[in-house]
Structure 1
Amino acid sequence: MLRPIVVGLDGSHESLAAADWAAREALRRGLPLRLVHAWEGLPADASDLPELEAPRHWARRILRGALDRLNERYPQLYLSGDQIARPAADALVAEGAESELLVLGSRSFSGFGGFMAGSVASATLAHAARPVVLVRAGQTLEDEHLPDTEGRPSAHAPYRAVVVGVDPAHSCEELLAFAFESATLRTAPLRVVYAWHLPYMPVAAEAKARRAMRETAEGTLDHLLGPWREKYPALELDVLAPEGRPPERLLDAAKDAGLLIVGRRIRPARLGAHIGPITHAMVHHVHCPIAVIPHE
């Protein structure tokens, strides 16, 4: 049985943008799309108080409106939707566990705080067992593509690059599998980034150590990507091993990307759930959709 792509709805512009992105991704992957709206209100038969009817009506309207909108825009898509009476993060984690991919809207604010993913998205990210994609408000089909020859937004130009950040010290198989598949589905170039940082040492030793570390990083990437090159020989691959702190280098590499892919290590329950500092930075500062892939 095919796992659906699941999108969480809350009526916001961000969640509507996420629903559109999820619909396009479902068509690319040949998968059904399931819309979920979680609401902690009382069950329909819990009370006849008229003041409870308004929130119930609004909750139903969110789901119904999104279903109608997507049915009109993507008539070839197999689409379903459900309302779930439980806390949003709990509902999304449970739904995501049965999905191929969970897609959420990601809220953004200007100012010193940068981008904020929102409490529900953050809690879901930290506990999800399957890939999660965050989408900003305003993301459109044209944003997934390069501008046309005259510099105008276009849905017919080639796709923007897919970017994936890797750390060969940890498992990369899940990240690379998702990245190569995503790039192949889009016929887009794949940009693989492994940033390394020179530790403090005497100035006289820096040049030699820097050269050695760069060669080691490039060799490690070649070894890591060897089997994937063989599996996807037609895919355009751009391999980068820049010196610098990983969050900064990954942000640089993703400035013109259509999709950024990062990992989240699954931690033992006793240590609590976290998304890690690099993924945290990407979620808060990257403008394009970002896929977070849990891995051991």
Structure 2
Amino acid sequence: MTRPVTVGMNNTVGSVGAAWWGAHEASLRDAPLWLVSAWEWQPYSRASLGSNEMAEQWSRRVPVETAAEIHRSYPQLDIRTQRLTGPPPEMLRRAASESQLLAIGVGGLGGRTGFLGGSVASATVSVTERPVVLVGSGRRAVERGEQTPGNDNPGPVAVGPVVVGVDLGRPNEEALTFAFEAASLRSARLDVIHGRHRPPARDEQMLQNTLAPWFERYPDVAVREHSANGRPARELADAGTGAALVVLGLGARHHRRGVTRIGHLNHAVLHRCSAPVAVVPQR
């Protein structure tokens, strides 16, 4: 059975948008779409009894309603919903373990368009062993050749290149594979951004050597290379303005269960980037 694309839904503004993004991704991958809600009772929080009950009802109702709306635009998709009870990061981690990727909808930070607006998103990224895609709210562009969802549906799927950050000293092979595959599925260009700390000719040779296996595996993907000149976080975030997807690697030293640190560069990009961002752990 083909592993599904899973979307973790909660009561954030980006949650329904992430479901639409996941629907498009599932259609590209010819995969099922799972909409999962994770709810945990908070008896000792400041939330009132009424707000706890509203959140519980939301976790039951909205994924089912969203699945019905998506099915009208993507009738070929196998769409399933599941409600889990327990700590959301752990529940989402378990759901992701059976999936190709996990998408989460997130809002901005104040007036900015970046991610990690809540503890669930950051905790989930740090403990999940599958790629996690963080999808912001408010984007309505669609991929080339695809039917646009109705005007009432927030379809945050952008036309544009796929962008990937590469550390030439410690390249993340899983992130590169994810980025090349994403570009191939979209018939999109892949923009490779890397830091430059050596003579240009040496960096260029290192990059070519690093990417050689993927050039052979994905001959259909056009690649554009760009040096960040010592500012990779800013360059990656700026490149995301017109991108379909930005792909970041999560190093093994940052990826331990129970540790929420995701690395300074990733943290900076996630706070600035407006495109969907995939964080891919190194195995």
TM-score range, shorter chain: 0.7 to 0.9
Residue 219 (structure 1) aligns with: 205
- Is the alpha carbon distance of 1:113 and 1:191 closer, same or farther for their aligned partners in structure 2, counting shifts above 3 Å? closer
Match of 1:260 in 2: 246
Moved more, 104-113 or 72-81: 104-113
Indicate the residue corresponding to 2:274 in structure 1: 287
Given the superposition, is the C-alpha separation of residues 139 and 188 from structure 1 closer, same or farther in structure 2, using an over 3 Å criterion? same
Do the aligned partners of residues 217 and 117 (structure 1) sit closer, same or farther apart at CA in structure 2, a change above 3 Å counting? farther
Q: 1:223 to 1:270 in 2, by over 3 A?
A: same
Distance 2:55 2:229 in 1: 53
Structure-2 separation of matches of 1:290 and 1:270: 21
1:107-141 per-position Cα deviation (integer Å, ceiling 9, x unaligned): 10334796543211110001110000000111234
2:263 corresponds to which of 270, 276, 279 = 276
Map residues 1-296 of structure 1 onto 2, 5 A cutoff. Answer: 1-41=1-41, 56-111=56-111, 115-142=115-142, 144=143, 159-197=159-197, 213-267=199-253, 269=256, 272-296=259-283
What's the secondary structure of 1:13's corresponding residue?
coil
Which segment is superposed worse, 30-39 or 232-241? Answer: 232-241
Amino acid corresponding to residue 29 of structure 1 in structure 2: R
User: Following TM superposition, by how much is the alpha carbon of 1:50 offset from its aligned partner in structure 2, in angstroms?
Assistant: 11
Question: How many Å apart are 1:255 and its aligned residue?
Answer: 2.8
Name the CA distance, whole Å, in 2 between partners of 1:3 and 1:103. 14
Take 2:119 and 2:232, find their aligned partners in 1: how far apart are those partners? 25
Q: Any conservation in 1 of the 2:107–2:113 contact (CA below 8 Å)?
A: no
Question: How big is each residue's C-alpha offset from its partner over 1:93-120, in whole Å with a ceiling of 9 and x where there is no partner?
Answer: 1111111100000210334796543211
Q: Distance in 2 between matches of 1:112 and 1:29?
A: 31
Please report how far the alpha carbon of residue 225 of structure 1 lies from its aligned counterpart in structure 2 after TM superposition. Answer: 1.4
Q: Could you tell me how far 1:196 is from its partner in structure 2?
A: 1.9
After TM superposition, the score normalised by the length of structure 1 is 0.81
Deviation at 1:176, TM superposition (A): 1.2
What is the aligned length?
265
Alpha carbons of structure 1 residues 220 and 39: separation in structure 2 relative to 1, 3 Å: same
User: CA 1:120 to 1:273, structure 2 compared with 1: closer, same or farther past 3 Å?
Assistant: closer
What displacement does 1:281 show? 1.0
Q: Is the 8 A contact 1:145 1:258 kept in 2?
A: no
Identity %: 38
For the 8 Å contact 1:145–1:160, the answer to whether it is kept is: no
- Write the letter of the residue equivalent to 2:259: G
Q: Which runs of 5+ in 2 are unaligned?
A: 43-48, 146-154
Do the aligned partners of 2:36 and 2:84 also contact (CA within 8 Å) in 1? Answer: yes
Provide the alpha-carbon RMSD of the alignment.
2.8
Instruction: Choose 1 or 2 for highest CA Rg.
Output: 1
Report the Cα distance in structure 2 between the residues aligned to 1:112 and 1:81, rounded to whole angstroms.
Answer: 31
Instruction: Give 2:4's aligned amino acid.
Output: P
Ranges of 4+ aligned residues in structure 1 off by more than 6 Å: 49-53
Q: Distance in 2 between matches of 1:58 and 1:214?
A: 54
Tell me the CA shift for residue 145 of structure 1.
Answer: 5.6
Shift in CA distance, 52/275, structure 1 to aligned 2, threshold 3 Å: closer
Structure 1 stretches of 5 or more lacking a match?
Answer: 43-48, 147-154, 198-211
